[in-house]
Amino acid sequence: MTRFSAQPSAQGLYDPANEHDACGVAFVAHLSGEPTHDLVLKGLTALRNLDHRGAVGAEENTGDGAGILMQVPDRFLRGVAQDEAGVELPAAGSYAAGLAFLPAEAEAAGEARGRIEEIAREEGLEVLGWRDVPVKPEILGSMARGAMPSFALVFVTTPGRDRSGIDLDRWTYALRKRSEHEVGVYFPSLSARTLVYKGMLTTEQLDEFFPDLLDERMESALAIVHSRFSTNTFPSWPLAHPFRFVAHNGEINTARGQPQLDARP
């Protein structure tokens, strides 16, 4: 046993040399491929059970980051697009949807939306509409709230072209990258296939901060959830995981190489 620790010595398959502080990640999926709201809830439960893998600072209600990645929930998006944005979405897979982190100030956010729409037209895309995402900032600590962006769902398609799935994602990639570099916004996701909700949150706060996640129309056949431990970077809203298709558990730079043996006699 090491000093000042209850860590056991090496035994069986266990070696204390493999102990590292790292983030928590979990994956849930239906073998049938059937999208359900129950699976999203299971993902959120898995995330809460990863609380010990995340981190908080002096404020217990400011987390290093938490999030969920799922398949595009067509039934939910179709409903809110029509009811809240007045937009009729094309067939599933033929539109991209994305959560956007926009400036907190309303005027600046409006200007950012206008510029994103201009870039979309330049890239042969069309922004069908925007939907403000409901959030509960009152549950956040002052640090997370002070850095908080505003949030919107954007719906994008290729007018006059039959593009869907990964083909459409190749077009929205250019829109996302240009928007991030030229407008200074951030998209956790912008895809015809996946949707990400995340932020500078604790594992307990994710579905409370984003009530969308508890809507019964929020359905997926898979979910990746992540609880972040900021080991060598300060926490921020964009740096929370998952990213657009993946999450990783731990720092890549903790990989240990085997020293080369001297081959000389």
- As beta bridge partners, residue 12 has none
Task: With beta carbons less than 8 A apart as the criterion, state whether 91 and 158 touch.
Answer: no
Query: Catalytic site residue 23?
Result: yes
Residue 37 three-state SS: helix
Task: With beta carbons less than 8 A apart as the criterion, state whether 166 and 193 touch.
Answer: yes
Q: Which residues contact 81 (CB under 8 A, 6 or more apart)?
A: 87, 88, 89, 128, 129, 131, 153, 155
State the catalytic residue, choosing from 1, 23, 124, 254.
23
The token pair at 229 is: 């431990």
Task: With beta carbons less than 8 A apart as the criterion, state whether 89 and 128 touch.
Answer: yes
DSSP state of 13: T
- What is the C-alpha separation between 260 and 265, in angstroms, rounded? 15
Cα-based distances in Å from 192 to 57, 98, 153, 157: 36, 9, 13, 9
When computed from its CA atoms, the radius of gyration of the chain, rounded to whole angstroms, is: 21
Q: Which residues does the annotation mark as catalytic?
A: 23
